[in-house]
Chains A and B, each alone.
Chain A
């Protein structure tokens, strides 16, 4: 089966600019996750969707980050405006449901100048 697809792979922007990331989960996976992984750290959950509804966004900095999952399939994560501390790899993962293994994409590496 095809894995989780993410784009772009790399993005360089200046602070205060906006950026968007795209994720296409594995077909049939109802649960979709966005993680932020800062260099040298483990991934940290930003937001979790179940189909097209938000299950957990408690760690999402809502003043600058937003995410949506239209039609319960693809998802986009947006940052506006970006700050230097947002430099990280943004990982998308999907799973069939609660407690099932999460499958990760290769991530988008974001650098803020």
Chain B
């Protein structure tokens, strides 16, 4: 069974810093990997989706990379802002499966 791990569980950085969030998964037979943002009391907002054949995806200050063979993905956030404070979740879709396997998330706090 696929297991998704996110380390660290919580991270605090001063405003303006670049930061990296990590996601690892145990089964490399994935269809795609998706990064989400969750604000308190809210649902999940999709940030980036990387297909298994891709190495990275970029959107604004966000860059997500995927190394399928090593079972790892990273989310890079450039020039962090207080508005980036949220919980970031990665989720993996297995090839041939229907659901997403989620990590437990990294709670990010950007200090002004």
- Which residues from chain A sit less than 8 Å from chain B, CB to CB? 4, 6, 33, 40-45, 48, 55-56, 59, 91, 93, 98-99, 101-107, 109
Q: Which of A41, A42, A44 has the most chain B CB atoms closer than 10 A to its own CB?
A: A42
DSSP class of B's interface residues: helix, strand, loop or mixed? strand
Instruction: Beyond A4-B43, A98-B98, A104-B43, list 4 extra A-B contacts (CB 8 Å).
Output: A99-B32, A102-B46, A104-B36, A106-B41
A-B contact pairs, 23 of them (CB 8 A): A4-B43, A6-B43, A33-B99, A41-B104, A42-B4, A42-B102, A43-B89, A44-B102, A45-B99, A45-B100, A48-B99, A91-B43, A91-B44, A99-B31, A101-B34, A101-B49, A102-B46, A103-B46, A104-B43, A104-B44, A104-B46, A105-B43, A107-B42
Assess the A101–B89 pair: CB atoms within 8 A: no
Task: Note all chain B residues with C-beta closer than 8 A to A43.
Answer: 44, 89, 100, 102
For the complex, give the distance between the alpha carbons of A66 and B45 in Å: 26
